[in-house]
Structure formats: structure tokens, C-alpha cells
Chains A and B, each alone.
Chain A
Amino acid sequence: MKNSSKVFIGIAALIIGLQFIQPSRNDQGDPLHGDFQREFNVPQQTGQILSRSCFDCHSNRTSYPWYTMLQPIGWWMGSHVNKGKVELNFDEFSTYSLRRKQSKLKSIANRIGDQSMPLPSYTLVHRSAKLSDREQKILTDWVDGTLDSLNQNKR
């Protein structure tokens, strides 16, 4: 009895201790991601879906849900953001070469199409990032259209 309460206090102290180690925050970018929205003339509805499901991990500005203040959830979120930004960063999209833009758009449509993005392990916790079938189609249609117009302007 005595031992188990010691263990309990130990775990509680550990969890409280963890709260003092806050990860660095991804909050330097433009909250409206204007560069990207302007370059591709993103329709409002598409932009809203991107904001809700994509920008948090794939841009220079994450809007953090309240529970990411709790550790280790915040660290876990931080690692998603770091990995996500390396693969694709909408705030740096305008600086990509034409080829890179095309590659990335293609991958965006494919990942949404095969439902590997948004990551199922991520949407399990961040329920609001989950895409409905209709939203998937809005995004992939928009990406396909954008790709077509990029291809036409190529030469």
C-alpha cells in the first residue's frame, strides 16, 4: 500500500515536471498564408479546408489546440510539425522551383487520395483535421486543376 502510493506520487511529480519543458512553438509565419493563397488564387472553401487540415503541420504557423499545452502531447505535436514542414511547407511554396511545385502538388493529391494524409495517427487526436469524402474531393480537384494550369504555362 505504502509502496504503491509512493509510485503514484512519483508518476504525478514526473507528469507535473514535464509541464515545465515546453517545446518551441511554430508561430513565425503569416497566419493567413497569403503568399500561397495569392499565387494559386485559392478559393475560399478550399482555403478553409487547407487551414483546418493541412497548414498546422505544413506551414510556418501552427494554430495550437489547447491540449497541446499539456506535455507530452505538445512534444508529439511538435515532432509532427517539424517532419511535416520538411516535406511540404505552404509558406515556402512560392520559392519552390516549377518542377518542385508540380511534384509537391502531385504528391498532395496522391496522399489525400490514398488517405495517408492527414496522417491517421494525427487525426485520431486532432479530430477536426479529418477530411470528409467531400472535402477530399474538393482538395484533389483543386490540386488537379492547379497542376493542369501549371503544365500549360510551362512553355
Chain B
Amino acid sequence: MAMASLLFAACNTTTKTTDKKVSDTTKSTLASSPAKKDATANLISDYLKLKNALVQDNDGQAALAGRSLVVSIGKIDTLSLAAAQAKVFADISADAREHAEHIGANAGNISHQREHFETLSGEIYDLLKTGNSTGKKLYYANCPMYNKGKGGNWISETKEIHNPYYGKAMQDCGSLKEELN
């Protein structure tokens, strides 16, 4: 009996602390930005991890980021998106997910990862054009050489060029096209 009440008490304390945590996070989200705006933040952050892995020529890290991108795309609740964003998301999600899956499955073949990254970047760009949920300034950059001179674009969190298409061989090759607020 004593044991049971002890357990009960223990449960109670944990519930209380979690409650407190939840209300804390709600408060901080509300303070920084409306809840709606956070919906795509994880997706963008996984994309940027992927981009940075490709800049470093790190196919293993790129695959990991690709796999977490698959998860973050799957977790997006379209109801929490603004109407225009939901429309673009519905349009890109299946394809973007497939690219992320391929990137995740192709550690050891970085050129194949980069090829999928190129199309994926265009899709993420279209999504960002309907609203940047990260609260940070993002940039759209271009590498004119990629894809046999047709060019390839990417989204970056830095103004400085760090080219994900050729890695260390041509790290600062490319130019800024656009600022995404």
C-alpha cells in the first residue's frame, strides 16, 4: 500500500514537470513566432544539414540527413500550413520525399546524391517562396557549371558561397540569386 502511494506520488511529480515543460515551450513558441510558422522548420533544417554534408563531400552524413529529411517531410501536418504553402507542399511532397530517400540510400555515390539534391533544392525553394518559417534569412544560390552547364541551385543559410555540387574542389564557386526572408 505504502509502495503504491509512493509510486503514485512519483507519477504525480513527473506529470507536473512535463506539464510545466510543455507550457514553457508553448510560451516560447508563441513569443518568437506564431505556431503556424514553425511547421516547416525541421524540414528546412534537415535540408541545410544535407546541403552542408555535400559541401564537405561527406556522403555518409548526407545519407543520414536524407533519411531524417524523409521523416520530417512525413511529419508535416498540412492542416497547420497556410493555404498557399499547403498547396505547394502537396505538389512537392511525394517527389521531395523520393529524392530524400534516394539520397539516404546512396552513401558511397555522392554524384547520385547531388543529382537528387539538385531537383530537391528547386522544390524546397518553391516551398520557401510561400513563406520562410525558420525565422532566419536564407539565400538562394546558383552554380552555373553543374548539370553540364545548365546550372544547379541551392538554398543556404549563409551569404558566403559554399558550393554543395563540387565540394572541396570548387567550394566558393557560384553566386547569390536571391534573398529569401
Contacts and interface: CB of A to CB of B under 8 A. Distances in A.
Verify that A and B bind, or say they do not: yes
Interface of A: 97, 99-100, 102-103, 106-107, 110
Contacts of B115: 106-107, 110
Interface of B: 91-92, 94-95, 98-99, 115, 119, 123
Contacts of B98: 100, 103
Interface of B is mostly: helix
B94 A97 contact: yes
A103 to B, nearest CB: 5
A148 to B, nearest CB: 11
17 contacts: A97-B91, A97-B94, A97-B95, A99-B91, A99-B92, A99-B95, A100-B95, A100-B98, A102-B119, A103-B95, A103-B98, A103-B99, A103-B119, A106-B115, A106-B119, A107-B115, A110-B115
Closest 4 CB pairs of A and B: A99-B95, A100-B95, A103-B119, A103-B95
A100 B99 CA distance: 10
B94 A100 contact: yes
A99 B95 CA distance: 7
A110 B147 CA distance: 10
* A interface, over-half SS: helix
A36 to B, nearest CB: 19
Contacts of A103: 95, 98-99, 119
A119 to B, nearest CB: 14
A107 B119 CA distance: 10
A103 B119 CA distance: 7
Nearest to B120: A103
Contacts of B99: 103
A89 to B, nearest CB: 13
B180 to A, nearest CB: 20
Contacts of A106: 115, 119
B105 to A, nearest CB: 11
Given A103-B95, A110-B115, 12 more contacts: A97-B94, A97-B95, A99-B91, A99-B92, A99-B95, A100-B98, A103-B98, A103-B99, A103-B119, A106-B115, A106-B119, A107-B115
A106 B95 CA distance: 13
B144 to A, nearest CB: 18
Contacts of B95: 97, 99-100, 103
B87 to A, nearest CB: 13
A38 B128 CA distance: 35
Nearest to A106: B119
A106 B98 CA distance: 14
Which of B95, B98, B119 has the most chain A CB atoms closer than 10 A to its own CB? B95
Contacts of B94: 97, 100
Q: Which of A99, A102, A107, A110 has the most CB of B within 10 A?
A: A99
Contacts of A99: 91-92, 95, 123
